[in-house]
Amino acid sequence: MAKALEVTDQNFADEVLAADKPVLVDFWAPWCPPCRQMGPVVDEIAGEVDGEAIVAKLNVDDNPATAAKYGVSSIPRFIMFKDGEEAKSILGACPKKQLLEPLRGLIG
């Protein structure tokens, strides 16, 4: 089963913005209980959309530049990208369906 790809400030442009598929990025931190709660959900989604979309995780503590660029001040925050552009943003822990449906909409 596929797991979420770990992205960093260094590889964000290549892995997310230059991707040829829609990308869901989970902005999280290990000390955040709702983030830890969403981790398995994000990995499940990665398995379900494998080959159609990319699911990535970015640790905001280790990668502050990217978090700042996208105005991430509260976590977990989920941002979906298509063709290098921000397409949708969801703040806070949520049901899997609330992440999967808009991502599937971007897949087409």
> Which residues are catalytically annotated?
32, 35
Q: Measure the CA–CA gap between 32 and 94, rounded to whole angstroms.
A: 14
Q: Measure the CA–CA gap between 58 and 25, rounded to whole angstroms.
A: 7
Rounded (5°) CA angle 17-106-53: 60
Q: Measure the CA–CA gap between 43 and 45, rounded to whole angstroms.
A: 5
Residue at token pair 């087409």? 108
